[in-house]
Amino acid sequence: MVNRCLAHSAFSALAPAALFFAVALAPALRALDWDSTEIEQHADIGDPLPQFVFTCTNTGAATVTITELHTSCGCLTPSLPKKTLEPGESAQLLVGFDRTGYVGETVRTIGVVTDEPGRDREPYQLILRADLPDALTFTPRRLVVWKKGEKAKAKSIDIKVNLPRAVEITGVTSSDDAMTVKLVTLEAGRRYRLDIKPRSTAKPVPVARITLQPAEPLPADTAITVYAQVQ
């Protein structure tokens, strides 16, 4: 009997603590239900990205107000015409994404803060993915480097034209005579190779800008410069 009483007393003492930790570890309440928290958009070369549209519904029993929007990048411009939602009401968060300067797979986020009790300003996280092909792709990368004293042999960068139409690259220039460059045509209007070589690696050479010369203008923000350096 004594042991049973002691066990009961110990359980009674631990119960409030267990309840506290259970509440502390429980996920924050979520009154807003989002149709999707992650959206991917695609834009063809030179075209703007379509607007991202996130829709949420207040599934709780109390009014909810969206108080803050935190974007991970200045390239995002959110618009929220309706900020306060009564139970059962829905709203749309419209987000513009300025693609200027971005290529490839680009990921950005928005944190949505509400006045919901129990969330302690914990934001809803929304993810925006952008598939942004570029007019030109460079393989393996746009920078080639030699170490001081390394053998001064040529290193190559392959160039692929991704536009629907073929675009001739007619020439190339280097900002530093210490770096020589040769343009090789692999497939006219489609594929090229740059063979870049330092005249010497006996001492460091500052970063040289090597610029392509296309036969016609490329879409805005197309990268046409690669870099070479002796460190």
Residue 172: CB atoms within 10 A of its CB come to 19
* Residue where a domain terminates, one of 68, 98, 132: 132
Decide which of 89, 115, 132 is a domain's last residue.
132
Are residues 77 and 157 both part of a single domain?
no
In terms of domains, do 97 and 183 share one? no
Using the predicted structure, report yes or no on whether residue 23 has a pLDDT greater than 90: no
Number of folded domains in the chain?
Answer: 2
Among residues 67, 65, 128, the alpha carbon closest in space to that of 102 is found at: 128
| CATH code at position 108 | 2.60.40.10
Determine the pLDDT at residue 11: 42
Residue 222's domain comprises 136-230
Say yes or no: 46 and 122 in one domain: yes
pLDDT (0 to 100) of residue 228: 97
Out of 59-63, 137-141, 158-162, 219-223, pick the least confident: 219-223
- Residue 28's pLDDT is 56
Cα distance between residue 228 and residue 48, in whole Å: 32
In a domain, residue 13? The reply is no
DSSP SS3 for 117: coil
Verify that 100 and 148 share a domain, yes or no: no
- Asked whether residue 142 is domain-assigned, the answer is yes
Q: In whole angstroms, how far apart are CA 66 and each of 35, 63, 95, 220?
A: 16, 10, 15, 37
- The answer as to whether 18 is a domain residue is no
pLDDT in tens, 90-104: 999 999 999 887 888
* Residue 8 binned pLDDT confidence (cut-offs 50, 70, 90): very low
